[in-house]
Structure 1
Amino acid sequence: MTDAQQLQEQGVKLFRQRDYEAAARVFEQAKLAYEADGQPLLAAEMQTNIGLVHRALGENQQAWM
């Protein structure tokens, strides 16, 4: 399992625990790791996850950025 995958799993776990701010930070790290690994689709998936975090926090404007 790559570092990016481990970060992704950690972010999902934090999201499920409703630790949304920590999940957003970890998803951002995963996004950067996927970009560094040349995995743009998985990086985009992490950006989507960050949007879901903003939505869960009621930050609807930021969820679409």
Structure 2
Amino acid sequence: LDQLTDEQFAKISEHLTPEVRTVLNVRGALASRDGRGGTAPSAVAVQLAEVKEDLAAQHAWATARR
């Protein structure tokens, strides 16, 4: 998509203005995937927090059984 010109975007749809480049790129693609399991930085941060919480609970469980 980054190789298409503004004119080519406009031929596809009048809604594809030059501003579309702000979202039709790798960063925009990642950011748009913000659902559970998504690759958006905000989604990854939530997933990491959940994993850290689960790991802490498992560590506490294992430590209590030593």
**Which TM bucket (shorter chain)?**
0.3 to 0.5
Q: Larger Rg: 1 or 2?
A: 2
User: What is the TM-score with the length of structure 1 in the denominator?
Assistant: 0.34
TM (normalized to structure 2)?
0.34
More helix by percentage: 1
- The structure with higher relative contact order (CA 8 Å, sep 6+) is 1
